[in-house]
Structure 1
């Protein structure tokens, strides 16, 4: 919890951590109104899926140019501009009067989310290097907390009875808090890096980190999309426990991220990713037991195991020798998001062709793969 205390006691670290929370507050608040938008525009599930694809397309569009924007503006200014654009872009989907404008709005929202995501992770990496501290994992814990805040905000829906008013108020409050703290990071620029020409030796660690990121994000997406159905169809859990797997996963994901920095500082980034893989493997064995309570405990363990992976991957990627920190983080984030979006789809295909249990056996094999991949990085330090 040392990193959590660091964030809460020092505005220099709270400021970027709150940007992490902000990103998920914006996105989560939009997400709870997806059914409203679907009914308002009278679109079917297929049309909604295409619209959400534009959100992902916006994220992927900005990734290749994110590092150039950060180099030009500075990581602090890019983070702040990302906050401003996200504040405005979060309002657009709910205000869209037509399906076509909804797609455009979600594309813009995706762009804003993408650049803010890369900038804030790069900002934390630069602060860690400059101040010789570690709080990347706890910052991702704030991202998880942002999702909790957005979820709790769903209880306000009957109070407002107006999605735009709800989103507008949330966006304004989040903007004001960011405005108060932006002075603590807005002038920060990335430290110059002596870049090396492209080579397979240089690309290898980034590729391995990207592959681990793909698996981590895909696993997280799988639990979000399939845990309730798994408890219903495979373990035959009672209806009041359908959401327990995701809840357990989310709680341990948040807790693990607040504890991760201290553990990483003691054993190193590579080892903590390996330990996380082992914990996730144990979790999948619990899930595959087909006992409801063991499965819920298994989802909790997978959340704890994967909680430390993504922050550590960004931390390592931002320190790869000869690679600009923003470029390293953008590469890992891009591959990771590809996993988050495609992973549940692939698992859905496996579930349709075979069984849902087969999908989770596949995730178990992938967790073992992560453990093996950490051996290829073992010569690399924090």
Structure 2
């Protein structure tokens, strides 16, 4: 790997870590954020839905621009929107303000996710190696850092608004690194004429890509539900302290990081379909364990199993998407990211609505159902 490619690798890994830091922090602070506005799970789910819709629309209409504006310009623009949204979360004082802040932060986060995954696919293809699992492991490592750090800061008495503001420091550092690095892929993007005028929405006709996108959607739906609601489940439903609740969230992110670091050799040894089948099965079993007991040690053990099980699903999907759309990586990434990230955002909304009706424990069984669905869909994928 030459020096420019190594530099792009380091910057892209750092960008994934930043996204993980935010979502790990967000998962731990969500009980404080919703409590400050006085929301039950239903209204909170409605606020998350507003953000989810904004994110899906922004990715669908603008994600393809990663190929044409250039990775660097696209990521810098997304970081500006993302940073404004993070600042807004720290200033929320009403439901309307929360909904607006979520619109901005989710739209920025979604576009940022498109950009970093497109850059990661560029690097993977130029290096000639399956590296996506390692990029997504860095996201999970960032989530671990964010969850542990925010839990410790909350336990020390720091106001949650200041913790949100602290996320701006790594965001600015990553923005500087992106600004100083040429992230252009060696392979030029598709000619402009190949991109439909309606953006990526007009390109949803590739059935093979949509099957891969469905698998990724179920994986990210489960991740989104864990990242948004696991902290609330531990702290509010089970009544655990902020430190223990943050630790439980951190265990999930840590398991995701470890699993993704180990995913590449495991996939190489056993193949795509067996790994996906095992991932779906163990996600269902792990979540079943967590929800069948109120003992904190067993609940956290279940979180560990779920994290390990989910860790390989999304990296496999993004790698397959890159194989299906050579020369149009940004567009293929937009298709996959729009659908799967939609699952990441809609999943928490679904849990919020179900929790309002049936309680959070029952609502979280959707993760077990999604795991079972991944198990079944794994047999529909073509042989690698």
TM-score of Structure 1 vs Structure 2, range by shorter chain: 0.7 to 0.9
Q: Distance in 2 between matches of 1:303 and 1:65?
A: 31
Counterpart for residue 56 of structure 2: 60
Q: How does 1:82-121 map to 2 (within 5 A)?
A: 82-95=78-91, 100-121=96-117
SS of the aligned residue for 1:64 comes to helix
Q: How do residues 46-57 of structure 1 correspond to structure 2 at under 5 angstroms? A: 48-57=44-53
How far residue 153 of structure 1 moved from its aligned partner, in angstroms, is: 3.3
**1:48–1:191 distance in 2 versus 1, CA, 3 Å:** same
- d(CA) in 1 for partners of 2:276 and 2:182? 29
Deviation at 1:31, TM superposition (A): 5.8
Distance in 2 separating the partners of 1:314 and 1:229 = 30
Deviation at 1:126, TM superposition (A): 1.0
Q: What is the DSSP-based 3-state SS (H/G/I as helix, E as strand, rest coil) of the residue aligned with 2:324?
A: coil
Deviations 1:265-317 (CA, angstroms, capped at 9, x unpaired): 44454443233224335535655765956664443222211111012111212
Aligned counterpart, 1:335: 339
TM-score (norm 2): 0.76
Q: Could you tell me which residue of structure 1 aligns to residue 15 of structure 2? A: 19
Gaps of 5+ in 2: none
Residue in 2 that maps onto 1:326: 330
User: Is the 1:228–1:246 contact (alpha carbons within 8 Å) kept by the matching residues of 2?
Assistant: no
Quick check: 1:262 aligned with 2:259?
no
**Cα deviations across residues 84-141 of structure 1 (Å, max 9, x unaligned)?**
4323432233246765454333322222111100110111011111121232112112
Q: Is the 8 A contact 1:64 1:330 kept in 2?
A: yes
Partner residue, 1:3: none
Q: What CA RMSD, in Å, does the superposition of the two structures yield over aligned residues?
A: 4.4
1:216 maps onto 2:219 in alignment = yes
Q: Work out the number of aligned pairs and report it.
A: 371
Decide whether aligned partners of structure 1 residues 187 and 357 sit closer, same or farther in structure 2, where only a CA change above 3 A counts. closer
Residues 191-270 of structure 1 aligned to structure 2 (within 5 Å): 191-193=188-190, 203-224=206-227, 225=229, 229=233, 246-270=249-273
Number of the residue aligned with 1:123: 119
Deviations 1:171-224 (A, max 9, x none): 134412542465444334764358699999962222212222232223234445
User: What is the CA deviation profile of residues 304-353 of structure 1, one whole-angstrom value per residue up to 9, with x for unaligned ones?
Assistant: 11111012111212221478322322222222233334435545666787
Q: 1:245 to 1:202 in 2, by over 3 A?
A: same
CA 1:223–1:151 in structure 2 vs 1: closer, same or farther (change >3 Å)? Answer: closer
2:376 maps to which residue? Answer: 372
Could you say what secondary structure the match of 1:72 adopts? coil
1:146 and 2:142 aligned: yes
Deviations 1:30-51 (A, max 9, x none): 56555665676x5544665544
The alpha-carbon distance between structure 1 residues 85 and 368, as it changes in their structure 2 partners (threshold 3 A), is closer
How far 1:361 sits from its partner (Å)? Answer: 6.4
Contact 1:15 1:178 in 2 (8 A): no
> Could you say if the C-alpha distance between residues 249 and 38 of structure 1 is closer, same or farther in structure 2, counting changes exceeding 3 Å?
closer
CA contact under 8 A between 1:15 and 1:182: conserved in structure 2? no
Determine the structure 1 residue equivalent to 2:303: 299
SS in 1 for 2:90: helix
Q: In the alignment, does 2:286 pair up with 1:283?
A: yes
* Distance in 1 of aligned mates of 2:162 and 2:298: 42
CA distance in 2, matches of 1:362, 1:249: 17
Task: Tell me which structure has the larger Cα radius of gyration.
Answer: 1
Structure of higher RCO (CA pairs closer than 8 Å, 6+ residues apart): 2
> What is the TM-score normalised by the length of structure 1?
0.76
Q: Assess if the C-alpha contact under 8 Å between 2:90 and 2:162 holds in 1.
A: no
Partner of residue 71 from structure 2, selected from 67, 71, 75: 75
More off after superposition, 209-218 vs 93-102: 93-102
Indicate conservation of the 8 Å contact 1:202/1:322, yes or no: no
